[in-house]
Amino acid sequence: MSATPESHETHESHETPATPESPFRVAALQMVSAPDRERNLADAERLIAEAAAAGARLVLLPEYFCFMGHKDTDKLAIREPYGDGPIQRFLADAAKRHGVWIIGGTLPLQAPEEGRVLNTTLVFDPSGMERARYDKIHLFNFEKGAESFDEARTIRPGEAVRTFEAPFGRVGLSVCYDLRFPELYRRMGDCALMVVPSAFTYTTGEAHWEILLRARAIENQCYVLAAAQGGKHENGRRTWGHSMLIDPWGEIVAMRDEAAGVVAGDIDLARVASVRTSLPAWRHRVLGRA
């Protein structure tokens, strides 16, 4: 695997670019990950193969696809140094084996300080080369009744916005709780697709998940692909699921409510152009222009 330069965008693909006449099929994988890395990787492999067989050329995995421990600190046991490790090798090998772009949900990478990790998304092209890296910036904190979450106890936040160039255009990277911060998505610039690998809780997902995803698609006039954890986990946690693809008008193209599976649909550049022509809000923006 090659290191990714610290830049807003990374290397360009050698794939044939998508055009308005040739939609580009993408897929989100929904999982119910367990406290067993090898089992999770086997489940992810099966779903990647299913998505590729159905014509997907880009596959998005959910947050924590590789591991959902019994307690927050369990993830420290499987953290990897950046550049090598069984989870990183799995992602690179799967991308090459199936000939697809893989956006690897998140995995725990070693942080500078002991006792914390970086919650990191890595992107691999169909040759198995790493093309982008994003460390989750916003860390989830939620207290309601018996539910208590504070990611800052075990995760070091990232600092930079990250995008990469896919064959159909720019893709913006975000993770889960980032979804509540629209300024992050504006900083990504002119994207054809924004992705949101997630593990939303059942409580917050039921209340806000779909509304926030559709808002990000509508205000940025681009596709949004969200891959979620979706079901009752062995650690007792319940996640919301509802992985989906949303088009630039805010319409849901495809969705899966609960349980493991594949959600697929097309990135249609003609649809992006049509929406931006009929309602040119992207062009009309005044504040925060790059």
* DSSP secondary structure letters along 176-217: GGGGG-HHHHHHT-S-SEEEEEE--BHHHIIIIIHHHHHHHH
Is a pLDDT exceeding 60 seen at residue 217? Answer: yes
Please check whether residue 211 lies inside any domain of the structure: yes
In degrees and rounded to multiples of 5, residue 178 shows phi and psi of -55, -30
Cα dihedral 41→73→32→136 (10° resolution): -80
Q: In this predicted model, what pLDDT tens digit does every residue of 47-57 receive, in sequence order?
A: 999 999 999 99
Q: Which residue has the higher pLDDT, 185 or 289?
A: 185
* pLDDT at residue 40 is higher than 90: yes
Region 249-268: mean pLDDT is 98
Say what the pLDDT of residue 7 is. Answer: 38
**What's the pLDDT score for residue 11?**
40
**C-alpha span between 170 and 172 (Å, rounded):** 7
Task: Give residue 142's pLDDT.
Answer: 75
Domain range for 135 is 24-278
**Phi and psi dihedrals of 161, rounded to 5?**
-70, 145
What's the chain's average pLDDT?
A: 92
pLDDT of residue 9: 41
Domain membership of residue 6 (yes or no) is no
Residue 20 confidence class, pLDDT cut points 50, 70, 90:
low
Q: How far apart are CA 192 and CA 182, in angstroms?
A: 16
- State the pLDDT at residue 290: 58
Angle ∠(171,64,216) on CA atoms, nearest 5: 35
176 assigned to active site: yes
pLDDT tops 60 at residue 225: yes
Tell me the pTM.
0.92
Residue 174 clears pLDDT 60, i.e. is over it: yes
Q: Is 66 a catalytic residue?
A: no
| pLDDT the model gives residue 97 | 98
pLDDT at 140: 85
Residue 282 has a pLDDT of 86
Largest Cα–Cα distance in the chain? 52
Domain count, the chain: 1
| 7 within domain boundaries | no
Active-site residue, from 75, 80, 130, 176? 176
8 domain residue, yes or no? no
Question: Could you identify the residue written with the tokens 């290191």?
Answer: 3
Domain membership of residue 13 (yes or no) is no
Cα distances (Å, whole numbers) of residue 266 to 107, 254, 286: 26, 10, 30
Task: Note the pLDDT of residue 101.
Answer: 98
**CATH code (residue 89):** 3.60.110.10
Sheet containing 169-173: give its strands across.
163-166, 169-173, 193-198, 223-228, 243-246, 252-256
- How confident is the model over 181-194, as pLDDT tens digits? 999 999 999 999 99
Is 4 among the domain residues? Answer: no
Q: Which pLDDT band, with edges at 50, 70 and 90, does 13 fall under?
A: very low
pLDDT on residue 22: 84
For residue 2, tell me if it sits in a domain. no
Confidence of residue 76 (pLDDT cuts 50, 70, 90): very high
Token pair in block for residue 245: 């693809």
Q: Integer distance in angstroms from the first to the last C-alpha of the chain?
A: 32
| CA atoms of 86 and 6, how far apart (whole Å) | 24
Catalytic residue among 63, 80, 130, 151: 63
Residue 284 covered by a domain = no
Minimum mean pLDDT among 6-10, 35-39, 150-154, 175-179: which range? 6-10
Which one is catalytic: 75, 80, 130, 136? 136
